[in-house]
C-alpha cells in the first residue's frame, strides 16, 4: 500500500514537469487560473527552429559531446579494468584520487588552466572545451566501468588466454559484449553532463565555441515561456537521438548479435 | 624491463586517467592558488585579506554552505527512503527508466521547470487559483528569487534524488535478502534491520554520494546564476563575475574565493573519510578478520 502510493507520487513528481514543458511549448495562450491552454499552436517550435545559430550550436554540442564520450570510454575502460582486476600498492588511494576531478570545483580548475590554455593555443577553441569537459565526466565513467569489470570477473579472460586468444580478441569477444549495458549508460550520462556545462564552456571557449547551453542561457531572461519550454525539451531530445544512434552502432559491433539475427 | 611492465600493467592502464583529467585538475588548482597569491607586485595575500573583510563574501559563504548542506541532506534522506522501499520494483527496466528521466535534463533546464511550477504566476499557483484556494496570484507565497534559496534547493533536491537512488540501487540489489528476516525473528524492528543489515553496506556509498553532491552544489554556477538573488549570491556566481570583471584587480579575489571553496569541500571530505574509515575498521574487527 505504502509502496504503491510512493511509486505513484514518484511518477507524478518526475512526469509532471516534463508534461508541463510539452503543454507549455504547444500553448498559444495560457491564462492564469486555467488548467490547460486556451489555444494551441506550433509557434514556439517555429521560433526556436528559426533561430539562426541553433543548428550550428547543435552541431557543436554533438561534436564536443561525442569526442568527450569516446575519450571517456577509452580512459574509463582502461582504468576500470586496472582497478577491478589488478592488485597493486596504494590502489585504494589511487582510486580516491581519481574521484578528485568531481570533488575539486571545476570552476576553480577551469579558471586556473585558462591562462595556460591560451598559451597552448587551445583556449577559445573546441579542443580546449573537450579537454575541460573531461573534468566533470571521467570519474563517473571510471566508476561505472570498474563496477562492470568487477561483476564480469577474471575467469573468462583466463580461459580465453589459456586457449591462446589475443588481448584484442579477448576484449572484443568477452568484455565488449558484456560491457554494452555500461557503455549505454556512460554514453547517456556523459553526454548530458557535457551538454550541461555552461560555465566551463564559457570560460575556456571564450564565447567562440557555441554549444547549446551558450544560447539557452541568454534565452532564460526572455518572457516567452513557450519558446523556453520547447528549447528545454530540445535539450532532452539530443541525448535520446544520440542514444538511438549509439544503439545502432553497438548492434553492428556486437559479435554475437550480428550473426544470430 | 619487459617483465617490469608485465608486472605493473596497471600503470599503463591508469596512465590516461592520470593525464586527463587528474593532472589537469591538480595543475588547474595549483595555478588557481598561485594566481590567488599574485598581484601586479608579485607575491601577496592581499586578495585573501580583501576577501575576509568583505561582508558580501561572508553572506555568500553562509548562504552557499546552507543551501548545499540542506540540499545534500534532503536528497540523501529521501533518496535512501525511496530506494529502501522500492528497490525491488526499481530494478525492473520500466521503473528504472522512470528514474533516468530527470537525468536527461541538464540542471539548469530542471531549474527552469521549477520556475514554471513555483513562480507566483506559475502552474501550481494557477491550479490553486482554478480551484479558488487563492483569489489572486499575489496570495501565492514567493518561493523564487528570495533570500533563503528555496528555488535552488528544490531544483537540486528534485534533480539529485534520482542520482542518489541510482547510486544506491546496486548496493541494495546485492544485499543479502535473508538477513532482515534473521533480525526480525530475533525480535528486531525496522530500525534494527536498517542499522545492522543495511547501514554497513550503504554507509560508504552514501557518504561518497553525499560528498559528490555537496561539492557539486557548492561550486556549480549554472543553477544559482539563473535562480539566485542579487544579494547574497552563491559563491560560484560571485567568483565567476569577479573573474570576468573588466577590472583585472578582481581576478586574484576570484581565485582566492574558489580556493576557499575548495578548502571547505576538502575539510568536509577529510571529516567524512575519517568517519567511514573508522566504521570500516570496526566492521572488520566485528567479523573477526
So what's the pLDDT on residue B288? 35
Residue B12 CA to residue A121 CA, distance in Å, equals 28
So what's the pLDDT on residue A260? 46
Interchain CB contact of B104 with A (< 8 Å): yes
Q: Residue A39: what are its φ and ψ, rounded to 5°?
A: -125, 145
So what's the pLDDT on residue B1? 61
Q: What is the DSSP string of B48-103?
A: HHHHHT-HHHHHHHHHHHHHHHHHHHHHHHHHHHHHHHHHHHHTSHHHHHHHHGGG
Nearest-CA distance A261 → chain B (Å): 23
Instruction: State pLDDT tens for residues A79-109.
Output: 999 999 988 888 888 988 999 999 999 999 9
A55-59 mean pLDDT: 93
CB neighbour list of residue A178: distance below 8 Å, 6 or more residues apart: A148, A152
So what's the pLDDT on residue B280? 58
B39 strand-pairing partners:
B42
Upstream peptide bond of A3 is cis (omega within 30 degrees of 0): no
Alpha helix stretches (DSSP H) within B174-198: 179-185, 190-193
Domains of chain A: 49-260 (1.10.3720.10)
Cα–Cα–Cα angle for A70, A72, A74, nearest 5°? 70
Residue B60 CA to residue A82 CA, distance in Å, equals 42
Window B:4-23, CB contacts with A under 8 Å: 8-10, 13-17, 20-22
Residue B256 CA to residue B254 CA, distance in Å, equals 6
* Chain A residues touching B114 at Cβ < 8 A: 17
So what's the pLDDT on residue A261? 45
Q: Which three cell numbers stand for residue B38?
A: 599574485
Residue B27's closest CA among A109, A123, A137, A139? A109
Residue A253 CA to residue A101 CA, distance in Å, equals 32
Residue B76's closest CA among B162, B200, B3, B176? B162
So what's the pLDDT on residue A73? 96
So what's the pLDDT on residue B281? 52
Residue A29 has pLDDT above 50, yes or no: yes
Residue B119 CA to residue B125 CA, distance in Å, equals 7
So what's the pLDDT on residue A47? 85
Residue B254 CA to residue A111 CA, distance in Å, equals 9
Instruction: State pLDDT tens for residues A203-221.
Output: 999 888 999 999 998 888 7
Alpha helix stretches (DSSP H) within chain A: 2-25, 43-49, 52-85, 91-103, 106-120, 126-133, 138-152, 155-162, 167-170, 176-195, 199-205, 212-219, 225-253, 257-260
Contact between chains at B219 and A2 (C-beta distance less than 8 A): no
CA dihedral A193, A8, B84, A14 (to 10 degrees): 10
Window A:187-226, CB contacts with B under 8 Å: 188-189, 192, 195-196, 198-199, 203, 213, 216-217, 220, 225
So what's the pLDDT on residue B272? 81
A27 strand-pairing partners:
A40
So what's the pLDDT on residue B221? 94
Q: One digit per residue, pLDDT tens: chain B, 289 residues?
A: 666 666 777 888 899 999 888 999 999 999 999 999 988 788 888 889 989 999 989 999 999 999 999 999 999 999 999 998 888 888 888 888 888 899 999 999 999 999 999 988 888 888 888 888 888 888 888 888 888 889 999 999 999 999 999 999 988 888 877 888 888 888 888 888 888 888 888 888 898 899 999 999 999 999 999 998 888 899 999 999 999 987 888 889 999 999 999 999 999 988 887 877 766 555 544 443 3
Upstream peptide bond of B151 is cis (omega within 30 degrees of 0): no
Q: Residue B7: what are its φ and ψ, rounded to 5°?
A: -75, -30
Contact between chains at B24 and A99 (C-beta distance less than 8 A): no
Nearest-CA distance B182 → chain A (Å): 23
Percent of chain A with pLDDT over 70: 98
Q: What is the fold, at CATH topology level, of the domain defined by B37-286?
A: MetI-like fold (1.10.3720)
Contact between chains at B126 and A34 (C-beta distance less than 8 A): yes
Q: Which three cell numbers stand for residue A120?
A: 597552448
Instruction: Choose between B136 and A197: higher pLDDT.
Output: A197
Mean pLDDT computed over every residue of chain A: 90
- pTM of model > 0.90: yes
Q: What is the DSSP string of A202-232?
A: HHHHTTTS--HHHHHHHHTTSS-HHHHHHHH
Cα separation values, B94 from A98, B38, B97, B101, Å? 33, 55, 5, 11
Give domain limits for chain B.
37-286
A29 strand-pairing partners:
A39
Nearest-CA distance A160 → chain B (Å): 18
Cα separation values, B251 from A41, B26, B244, B245, Å? 48, 20, 8, 8
Nearest-CA distance A259 → chain B (Å): 26
CB neighbour list of residue A60: distance below 8 Å, 6 or more residues apart: A126, A209, A210, A211, A212
Instruction: State pLDDT tens for residues A122-177.
Output: 888 999 999 999 999 999 999 999 999 999 988 998 899 889 888 889 999 899 99
* Chain A residues touching B129 at Cβ < 8 A: 32-33
A9-30 mean pLDDT: 89
Amino acid at each position: 500500500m505504502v509502496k504503491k502510493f510512493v511509486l505513484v507520487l514518484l511518477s507524478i513528481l518526475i512526469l509532471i514537469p516534463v508534461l508541463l514543458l510539452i503543454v507549455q511549448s504547444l500553448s498559444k495562450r495560457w491564462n492564469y487560473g486555467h488548467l490547460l491552454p486556451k489555444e494551441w499552436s506550433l509557434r514556439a517550435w517555429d521560433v526556436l527552429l528559426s533561430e539562426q545559430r541553433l543548428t550550428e550550436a547543435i552541431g557543436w554540442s554533438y561534436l564536443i559531446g561525442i569526442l568527450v564520450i569516446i575519450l571517456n570510454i577509452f580512459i574509463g575502460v582502461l582504468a576500470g579494468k586496472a582497478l577491478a582486476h589488478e592488485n597493486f600498492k596504494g590502489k585504494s588511494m589511487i582510486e580516491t584520487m581519481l574521484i578528485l576531478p568531481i570533488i575539486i570545483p571545476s570552476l576553480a580548475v577551469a579558471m586556473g588552466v585558462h591562462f595556460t590554455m591560451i598559451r597552448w593555443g587551445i583556449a577559445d577553441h573546441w579542443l580546449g572545451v573537450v579537454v575541460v569537459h573531461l573534468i566533470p565526466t571521467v570519474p563517473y565513467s571510471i566508476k561505472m566501468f570498474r563496477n562492470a569489470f568487477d561483476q564480469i570477473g577474471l575467469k573468462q579472460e583466463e580461459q580465453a588466454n589459456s586457449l591462446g586468444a589475443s588481448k584484442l580478441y579477448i576484449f572484443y569477444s568477452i568484455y565488449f559484449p558484456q560491457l554494452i549495458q555500461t557503455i549505454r549508460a556512460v554514453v547517456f550520462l556523459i553526454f548530458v553532463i557535457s551538454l550541461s556545462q555552461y560555465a566551463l564552456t564559457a570560460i575556456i571557449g571564450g564565447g567562440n565555441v557555441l554549444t547549446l547551453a551558450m544560447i539557452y542561457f541568454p534565452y532564460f531572461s526572455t518572457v516567452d515561456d513557450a519558446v523556453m519550454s520547447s528549447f528545454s525539451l530540445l535539450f532532452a531530445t539530443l541525448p535520446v537521438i544520440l542514444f538511438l544512434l549509439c544503439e545502432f552502432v553497438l548492434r553492428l559491433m556486437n559479435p554475437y548479435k550480428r550473426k544470430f539475427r | 624491463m619487459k617483465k617490469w611492465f608485465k608486472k605493473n600493467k596497471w600503470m599503463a592502464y591508469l596512465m590516461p586517467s592520470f593525464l586527463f583529467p587528474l593532472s589537469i585538475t591538480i595543475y588547474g588548482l595549483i595555478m588557481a592558488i598561485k594566481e590567488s597569491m599574485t598581484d601586479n607586485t608579485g607575491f601577496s595575500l592581499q586578495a585573501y585579506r580583501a576577501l575576509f573583510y568583505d561582508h558580501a563574501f561572508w553572506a555568500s559563504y553562509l548562504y552557499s554552505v546552507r543551501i548545499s548542506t540542506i540540499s545534500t541532506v534532503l536528497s540523501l534522506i529521501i533518496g535512501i527512503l525511496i530506494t529502501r522501499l522500492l528497490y525491488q520494483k526499481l530494478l525492473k527496466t520500466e521503473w528504472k527508466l522512470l528514474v533516468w528521466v530527470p537525468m536527461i535534463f541538464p540542471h539548469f533546464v530542471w531549474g527552469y521547470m521549477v520556475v514554471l511550477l513555483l513562480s507566483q504566476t506559475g502552474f501550481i499557483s494557477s491550479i490553486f487559483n482554478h480551484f479558488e484556494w487563492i483569489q489572486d496570484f499575489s496570495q501565492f507565497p514567493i518561493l523564487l528569487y528570495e533570500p533563503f534559496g528555496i528555488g535552488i534547493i528544490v531544483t537540486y533536491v528534485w534533480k539529485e534524488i534520482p542520482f542518489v537512488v541510482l547510486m544506491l540501487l546496486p548496493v541494495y540489489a546485492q544485499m543479502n535478502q535473508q538477513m532482515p528476516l534473521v533480525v526480525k525473528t530475533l525480535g528486531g524492528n525496522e530500525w534494527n534491520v536498517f542499522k545492522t543489515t543495511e547501514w554497513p553496506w550503504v554507509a560508504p556509498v552514501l557518504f561518497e554520494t553525499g560528498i559528490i553532491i555537496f561539492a557539486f552544489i557548492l561550486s556549480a554556477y549554472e543553477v544559482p546564476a539563473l535562480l539566485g538573488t542579487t544579494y547574497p549570491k552563491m559563491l560560484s556566481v560571485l567568483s565567476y563575475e569577479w573573474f570576468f570583471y573588466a577590472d583585472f584587480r578582481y581576478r586574484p579575489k576570484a581565485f582566492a574565493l574558489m580556493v576557499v571553496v575548495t578548502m571547505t569541500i576538502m575539510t568536509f571530505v577529510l571529516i567524512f573519510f575519517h568517519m567511514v574509515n573508522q566504521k570500516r575498521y570496526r566492521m572488520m574487527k566485528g567479523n573477526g578478520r
